[in-house]
C-alpha cells in the first residue's frame, strides 16, 4: 500500500476504488443478531410464571371435574400469550428501529480529500483519521506519526486505555481516548474481531432493566399474594363445610382474579411507544426504561455551545495588539471584509492564518446553495475568517495536538512553527510579556456574550514531543470574538422547566462572562446571578449542593471531574439529574447522571455511548420535550395500573363475601366471568389509557417523586375505586336476588342466580367503564378532564360495550359463564355503577386537593426557599465573573 509515504501525504483510496470495494465486500455492518424463532418466543409466553399458575389452575379444574373451566383457562392463557407476544414483538421492533436511527460516522482520507462518511461505507484499505472521542468502526492498523490511547474494555475487559503506536492494530468497537492518528482499515463488517465476539455475547441474555425488575417484583408479589390468598380461602371454605369441588373452584377464582395478567406487556409497549414519540421529536433513548427516568427528572445540567446556542459560529471581531478589527460577512459565507486600521488588519490577517492552520480538519462547504461548516463549527468559522482576510489555505500539518477540554487549547506544528488556539485563560499564561491590554479585551468581548479564543504562535526549531512542550513561550497574535446566538426556542423551554419545578444549571467550559451573558439572554441565570468557576466550587459537598440548588447557577470553566461531582452531589440530595456532555472525558459524568444526554450532531462517540439519551438535533428544548413525554408516559402507566388494580378488588370481593358468609350469600360472579372481564372487556381500555396524550398540565409542577407504584396509587385503587365498584356490584346482585324472592341463607333458584350474576357482571363491566374515564386524571374529576382528548379510549369503551351483550346473550357463553341478561331492575342498578364510581373518585380527589400536600414532593416555591436559605453558605465558593463582587 501507500504506507511508505508520510501519513500526512497519503491520499488514501480513490473514491472510485472505495465504491468498488464496497460493492465487492458489502457494507461495514455487523451481521444482524440471530433472533429466537417467533414460535419459541410465543412458547415462552405460555410457560412463564403466571401462565404456569393458570395451567395449574386448569389441571386442578380437570381434577375437580370441571372441564369447561379448564378449557376456558387454557383459552385465556393462549389469548393472553398471543397478546403479550404481539406487544413485546412491537416493542422490540420499536427498539430496533431506534438503534438504526443513530448513524456512526468515520473520517477518511480518500483521493487526498478528508471527508466524513457513514461508518457502513468503510472498506478495507481506507485511511481513517482517528481522534480522541472516536469509536473505531473497523479493524485497522495504526500508521506512523501518531500515538493514541485506546479504550479496549469492550473487547478485552481491560479498563485502562492501552497506548498504541504506528504498526499496532486497533479493533472495531474500541474508543480513542487520547491523541490522534491515521489508520489503515484491514477488516470490516463480519470479518472484524468485534463481529466474532458479538456472536458469542449475543447468546448471553440481556440483563433486565431496573424498571423491568421493579415491575417483575411487583407482579411476582401480587401473584404470590394471589396464591396464598387462594390457598387460605380454599382451606377456609373447606372448613366452612363446602365441598372440595366448590372450595377448589373458589380458590382458583380468587387466584385468577388477583393475577395481573396483562400488566407487563402493556407497560413495555407503553414505554416503547413513548420512545418512538421521543425519536420523532429528535431525542433518542438508548434504553427503554430511560423514558421513565426522563419523566422523573428534577434537575437539568446543560452545557452552552450548541445546546443553548445555535452552534453557528461567526467571528465578528478580532482584537490585536495593534487595534481592533471588525469582521463583516454573512454566516459561513467566505466572502467578507475586515474593517480597521491598516496595521490592525495586517495583524488580524496573520492571526487568521495561524488560527486556520490550527484547525486542519474543519472547513466550509457549499451545499445546495448554502455555506455550511464541516467539522467543528467554531473551527470552520476560523476558516471563514481566513478566507475573508484573503489568506490562502496552507496544508502540511506535521503534528497536531487536538483540543481537549482539560487543556482547553489546540495546537498544530507545521513547517512555519507551532500555531495555538484556545480559551484565553489557558493560552495567555503561556505568552510572556505584558498582557494587561489583552486581558481587558477578553473581559470586554466576553461581556458581550462572545466566545473568546486566543491565537498564538511560536517558531519551533525542533519538533515538540508533547502538547505541553509545543504550547509554551508563545507570541500572542490576538483574540477572536465569536458570536453564537442563542436558539430561539430555549427561553420558552427554560420557562417550561421552571413551571414544572425542574431546576437548571449551566455547566460549561466557556469563559464565565460569556456563559453569564448567554445564560442571562435565555433566562436561565437566576435572580442572584451566581456564576462560579469550576475550580472555585465549594469543596464541601453540602455547600456545593446548596449552591447548585439555588437554581439558575452558571458553572463556567468546568473540568470533566467537576461535572461528575456536580451530578453526584445533586443525586445525594435526591435529585434525578439529567446532564449533557459531548467530550471524551464526559463519559463518567454521563454515566453517573440518572440521564446522560449526548449530542447526536456534534459531540464524541464516547459521549454518545455513555449516554442514555442522544439529542439528534443537539437542542436544549429537545431535552425538555423528552422530559415532558417521559412524565406523560409515567402518568399513563399509573393510569392503567390504577385501572387494573381496581377491577381486582371488584372481582375479589364476591368471593370473599361468599366465603365469609359461610356460603349463605351465593357467589356473585364466577371464575369464568372474572376471566371474561380480565381478558375481554378490560383489555382495550387499559391499552387506551396507556396512550393518553400528554396534557399541558404534565409539566406544571410539582415535579413527580417516587415510584411507579406508590401508596397514593394503591390507596386510590384499593381503598376508593375498587371498593366503590365492588360494593355497588354486590348491592346490585343482592337486590336482584331479594326482588326475585330470595331470602337470607335460603337455597337460590338457578335461573334467579344467573340473572343476578349477570347483573353483577354487568355492574363490574360498566363500573370499569366509569373507572376508565376516572383514571384519565389523578387529580381532576371527570367534569374537568372533559370527554375529549383520547379518542382511543372511546373506541375501547365501544368495544367493551359491544362485548357485554356477547357475553350475556351469545350461546353458549351465558351458560358457560353463568350469567344471564339482567332484569330491568338489574339494568338500572348496573348502570348506576358508572356514576357511583365517578362520585367516589370525585369525592376522593376533592378531599385530597384540600388535604395536606404529599410529603416528599417539593414545589418550585419550596425549592426557592431552600435556595435562599443557603446564600451565606454558597458565598464561600460562588463569585461573580472576573472576581468582582456584584452583578454581571
Catalytic residue list: 303
Number of residues forming the site for ligand ADP (CB under 6 A): 20
Nearer to ligand ADP, 28 or 508 (CB): 508
Nearer to ligand ADP, 512 or 867 (CB): 512
Site size toward Mg ion (CB under 5 A) is 1
Which string of x and - marks every residue 28-47 that binds ligand ADP (by CB under 6 A)?
Answer: --------------------
Residue in the structure block whose three cell numbers are 357475553: 807
Contact 526, 553 (CB under 8 A): yes
Q: How far is the CB of 305 from Mg ion (least distance, A)?
A: 4
Binding mask 423-462 for ligand ADP (x = CB under 6 A): x---------------------------x-x---------
Q: Does residue 408 interact with ligand ADP by CB under 6 A? A: yes
What is the phi/psi pair of residue 379, to 5°? -65, -35
Q: CA quadruple 671, 676, 681, 685: dihedral positive or negative? A: positive
Here's the x/- map for Mg ion, 296-335, by CB under 5 A: it reads as ---------x------------------------------
Contact pattern for ligand ADP over residues 559 through 588, marking x by CB under 6 A: ------------------------------
Binding mask 596-635 for ligand ADP (x = CB under 6 A): ----------------------------------------
| Beta carbon of residue 450, minimum distance to Mg ion (angstroms, whole number) | 15
Closest approach, Cβ 384 to ligand ADP, in A, equals: 15
Q: Least distance from C-beta 601 to ligand ADP, angstroms?
A: 13
378 interacts with, out of Mg ion, ligand ADP, none, CB within 5 to 8 A per kind = ligand ADP
CA–CA distance, 681 with 798 (Å, rounded to integer): 10
Sheet architecture: strand order including 595-599: 283-285, 613-615, 595-599, 577-581, 299-302, 503-507, 553-556, 531-533
Peptide bond connecting 653 to the previous residue in cis, omega within 30 degrees of 0: no
Q: What's the CA gap between 240 and 245, in Å, rounded? A: 13
Q: In this structure, how many other beta carbons lie within 10 angstroms of the beta carbon of residue 10?
A: 18
Q: Which of 98, 378, 578, 717 binds ligand ADP (CB under 6 A)?
A: 378
Question: Which stretch, 195-203, 401-409, 634-642, 675-683, contacts ligand ADP (CB under 6 A)?
Answer: 401-409
Nearest to Mg ion of 45, 305 (CB atom): 305
CB 606 → Mg ion: shortest distance, Å? 14
Rule CB under 5 A: is residue 670 a binding residue for Mg ion? no
How many angstroms separate the CA atoms of 753 and 885, rounded?
84
What are the start-end ranges of the E strands in 345-408? 363-367, 370-374, 397-404
Contact region for ligand ADP (CB under 6 A) — 72-80, 89-97, 418-426, 704-712? 418-426
Q: How many CB atoms lie within 10 A of CB 146?
A: 21
- Nearest residue (CB) to Mg ion, 305 versus 354: 305
DSSP H or E run through 108: strand 105-110
Which residue's CB is nearer to ligand ADP, number 305 or number 636? 305
Burial tier of 741 (Cβ tally within 10 Å: 0-12, 13-18, 19+): exposed
Which element (helix H / strand E) includes 27?
none
Greatest extent of the chain over all pairs of C-alpha atoms, in Å: 113
Q: How far is the CB of 507 from ligand ADP (least distance, A)?
A: 7
Under a CB-based contact definition with an 8 Å cutoff, are residues 292 and 633 in contact? yes
C-alpha cell at 415: 513547517
Q: Helix/strand/coil (H, E, C) string of 869-882? A: CCHHHHCCCCCCHH
Distances (CA, A) of 158 to 93, 171, 195: 33, 14, 19
410 is a site residue for Mg ion (CB under 5 A): no
Q: How many CA atoms lie within 13 A of 881 on its CB side?
A: 26
Contact flag: residue 289 with ligand ADP (CB under 6 A): no
With CB atoms as reference, the residue minimizing the distance to ligand ADP is: 509
- The number of C-alpha atoms within 13 Å of 22 and in the hemisphere containing its C-beta is 17
Measured distance CA(73)–CA(257) in Å, rounded = 12
Binding of residue 404 to ligand ADP (CB under 6 A):
no
| Nearer CB in complex with ligand ADP: 292/376 | 376
Among residues 509, 603, 701, 767, the one that binds ligand ADP under rule CB under 6 A: 509
Q: Which residue's C-beta sits nearest to Mg ion?
A: 305
**Conformation bin of residue 882: beta by default, left when phi > 0, alpha when psi is -120 to 50:** left
Q: Classify the C-alpha dihedral 631-637-641-642 as positive or negative.
A: positive
User: How many Cβ atoms sit within 10 Å of the Cβ of residue 860?
Assistant: 18
238 CB-near residues (< 8 Å, 6+ apart)? 244, 247
Q: Which does 453 bind (CB under 5 to 8 A by kind): ligand ADP, Mg ion, none?
A: ligand ADP
CB of 451 to ligand ADP, least distance (A): 5
Q: Answer yes or no whether residue 261 interacts with ligand ADP by CB under 6 A.
A: no
Least distance in Å: CB of 403 to Mg ion? 9
Binding span for ligand ADP by CB under 6 A among 143-151, 200-208, 417-425, 763-771: 417-425
Q: Which is nearer to ligand ADP, 479 or 878 (CB)?
A: 479
> By C-beta, is 305 or 550 nearer to Mg ion?
305
Give the DSSP per-residue string, 231-267: HHHHHHHHHTT--HHHHHHHHHHHHHHH--TTHHHHH
408 makes contact, choosing from Mg ion, ligand ADP, none, with CB < 5 to 8 Å by partner type, with ligand ADP
Q: By CB under 6 A, which span of 51-59, 259-267, 302-310, 525-533 interacts with ligand ADP?
A: 302-310
Q: Does 785 bind ligand ADP (CB under 6 A)?
A: no
The footprint of ligand ADP (CB under 6 A) covers: 303-305, 376, 378-379, 403, 405, 408-410, 421-423, 451, 453, 508-511
Give me the residues that bind Mg ion (CB under 5 A), please.
305
Amino acid at each position: 500500500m501507500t504506507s511508505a509515504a508520510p501519513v500526512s501525504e497519503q491520499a488514501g483510496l480513490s473514491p472510485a476504488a472505495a465504491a468498488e470495494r464496497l460493492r465487492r465486500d458489502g457494507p461495514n455492518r455487523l451481521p444482524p443478531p440471530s433472533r429466537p424463532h417467533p414460535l419459541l418466543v410465543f412458547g415462552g409466553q405460555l410457560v412463564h410464571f403466571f401462565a404456569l399458575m393458570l395451567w395449574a389452575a386448569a389441571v386442578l379444574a380437570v381434577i375437580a371435574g370441571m372441564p369447561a373451566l379448564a378449557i376456558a383457562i387454557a383459552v385465556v392463557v393462549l389469548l393472553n400469550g398471543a397478546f403479550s407476544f404481539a406487544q413485546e414483538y412491537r416493542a422490540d421492533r420499536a427498539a430496533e428501529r431506534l438503534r438504526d436511527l443513530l448513524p456512526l460516522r468515520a473520517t477518511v482520507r480518500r483521493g487526498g480529500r478528508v471527508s466524513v462518511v457513514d461508518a457502513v461505507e468503510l472498506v478495507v484499505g481506507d485511511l481513517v483519521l482517528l481522534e480522541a472521542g472516536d469509536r473505531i468502526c473497523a479493524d485497522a492498523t495504526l500508521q506512523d506519526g501518531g500515538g493514541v490511547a485506546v479504550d479496549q474494555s469492550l473487547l478485552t475487559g481491560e479498563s485502562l486505555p492501552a497506548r498504541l503506536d504506528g504498526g499496532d492494530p486497533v479493533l472495531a468497537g474500541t474508543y480513542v481516548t487520547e491523541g490522534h492518528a491515521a489508520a489503515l482499515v484491514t477488516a470490516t463488517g463480519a470479518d472484524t474481531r468485534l463481529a466474532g465476539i458479538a456472536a458469542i455475547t449475543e447468546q448471553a441474555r440481556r440483563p433486565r432493566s431496573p424498571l423491568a425488575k421493579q415491575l417483575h417484583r411487583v407482579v411476582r408479589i401480587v401473584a404470590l399474594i394471589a396464591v396464598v390468598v387462594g390457598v387460605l380461602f380454599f382451606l377456609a371454605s373447606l372448613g366452612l363445610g363446602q365441598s372440595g369441588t366448590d372450595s377448589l373452584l373458589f380458590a382458583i377464582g380468587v387466584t385468577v382474579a388477583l393475577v395481573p395478567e396483562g400488566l407487563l406487556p402493556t407497560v413495555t409497549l407503553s414505554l416503547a411507544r413513548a420512545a418512538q414519540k421521543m425519536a420523532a421529536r429528535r431525542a433518542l433513548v438508548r434504553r427503554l426504561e430511560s423514558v421513565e427516568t426522563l419523566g422523573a427528572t428534577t434537575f437539568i445540567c446543560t452545557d452552552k455551545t450548541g445546546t443553548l446556542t445555535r452552534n453557528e459560529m461567526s467571528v465578528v471581531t478580532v482584537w490585536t495588539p495593534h487595534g481592533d478589527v471588525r469582521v463583516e460577512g454573512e454566516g459561513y459565507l467566505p466572502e467578507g471584509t475586515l474593517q480597521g486600521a491598516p496595521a490592525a488588519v495586517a495583524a488580524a490577517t496573520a492571526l487568521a492564518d495561524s488560527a486556520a492552520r490550527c484547525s486542519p480538519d474543519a472547513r466550509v462547504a457549499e451545499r445546495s446553495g448554502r455555506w455550511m461548516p464541516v467539522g467543528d463549527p467554531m473551527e470552520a468559522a476560523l476558516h471563514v475568517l481566513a478566507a475573508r482576510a484573503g489568506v490562502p489555505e496552507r496544508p502540511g500539518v506535521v503534528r497536531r495536538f487536538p483540543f481537549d477540554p482539560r487543556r482547553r487549547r489546540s495546537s498544530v506544528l507545521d513547517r512555519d512553527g507551532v500555531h495555538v488556539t484556545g480559551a484565553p485563560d489557558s493560552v495567555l499564561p503561556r505568552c510572556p510579556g505584558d498582557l494587561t491590554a489583552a486581558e481587558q479585551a477578553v473581559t470586554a468581548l466576553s461581556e458581550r456574550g462572545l466566545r473568546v479564543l486566543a491565537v498564538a504562535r511560536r517558531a519551533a526549531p525542533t519538533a515538540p514531543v508533547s502538547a505541553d512542550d509545543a504550547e509554551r513561550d508563545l507570541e500572542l497574535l490576538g483574540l477572536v470574538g465569536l458570536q453564537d446566538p442563542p436558539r430561539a426556542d430555549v427561553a420558552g423551554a427554560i420557562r417550561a422547566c421552571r413551571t414544572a419545578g425542574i431546576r437548571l444549571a449551566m455547566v460549561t467550559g466557556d469563559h464565565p462572562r460569556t456563559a453569564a451573558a448567554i445564560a442571562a439572554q435565555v433566562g436561565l441565570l437566576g435572580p442572584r446571578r451566581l456564576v462560579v468557576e469550576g475550580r472555585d466550587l465549594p469543596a464541601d459537598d453540602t455547600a456545593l449542593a446548596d449552591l447548585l440548588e439555588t437554581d439558575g447557577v452558571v458553572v463556567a470553566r468546568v473540568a470533566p471531574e467537576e461535572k461528575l461531582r456536580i451530578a453526584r452531589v445533586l443525586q445525594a440530595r435526591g435529585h434525578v439529574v439529567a446532564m449533557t456532555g459531548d467530550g471524551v472525558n464526559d463519559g463518567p459524568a454521563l454515566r453517573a447522571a440518572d440521564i446522560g444526554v449526548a449530542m447526536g450532531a456534534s459531540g464524541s462517540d464516547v459521549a454518545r455511548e455513555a449516554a442514555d439519551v442522544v439529542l439528534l438535533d443537539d437542542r436544549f428544548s429537545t431535552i425538555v420535550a423528552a422530559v415532558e413525554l417521559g412524565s406523560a408516559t409515567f402518568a399513563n402507566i399509573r393510569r392503567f395500573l390504577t385501572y387494573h388494580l381496581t377491577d381486582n378488588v371488584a372481582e375479589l370481593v364476591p368471593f370473599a363475601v361468599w366465603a365469609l358468609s359461610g356460603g349463605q350469600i351465593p357467589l356473585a360472579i364466577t371464575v369464568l366471568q372474572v376471566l371474561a372481564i380480565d381478558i375481554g372487556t378490560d383489555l382495550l381500555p387499559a391499552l387506551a389509557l396507556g396512550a393518553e396524550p400528554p396534557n399541558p398540565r404534565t409539566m406544571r409542577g410539582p415535579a413527580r417523586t417516587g415510584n411507579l407504584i406508590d401508596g397514593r396509587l394503591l390507596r386510590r385503587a384499593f381503598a376508593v375505586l375498587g371498593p366503590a365498584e365492588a360494593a355497588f356490584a354486590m348491592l346490585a346482585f343482592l337486590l336482584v336476588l331479594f326482588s326475585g324472592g330470595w331470602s337470607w341463607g335460603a337455597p337460590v333458584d338457578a335461573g334467579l342466580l344467573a340473572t343476578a350474576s349477570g347483573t353483577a357482571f354487568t355492574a363490574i363491566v360498566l363500573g370499569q367503564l366509569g373507572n376508565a374515564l376516572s383514571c384519565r386524571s389523578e387529580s381532576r374529576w371527570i367534569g374537568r378532564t372533559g370527554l375529549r382528548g383520547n379518542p382511543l379510549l372511546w373506541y375501547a369503551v365501544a368495544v367493551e360495550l359491544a362485548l357485554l351483550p356477547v357475553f350475556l346473550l351469545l350461546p353458549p357463553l351465558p351458560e358457560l359463564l353463568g350469567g344471564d341478561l339482567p332484569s330491568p331492575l338489574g339494568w338500572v342498578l348496573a348502570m348506576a355503577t358508572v356514576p357511583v364510581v365517578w362520585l367516589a373518585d370525585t369525592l376522593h380527589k376533592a378531599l385530597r386537593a384540600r388535604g395536606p400536600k404529599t410529603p416528599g414532593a417539593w414545589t418550585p416555591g419550596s425549592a426557592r426557599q431552600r435556595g435562599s436559605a443557603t446564600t451565606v453558605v454558597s458565598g464561600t465558593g460562588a463569585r461573580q465573573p472576573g472576581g468582582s463582587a456584584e452583578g454581571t
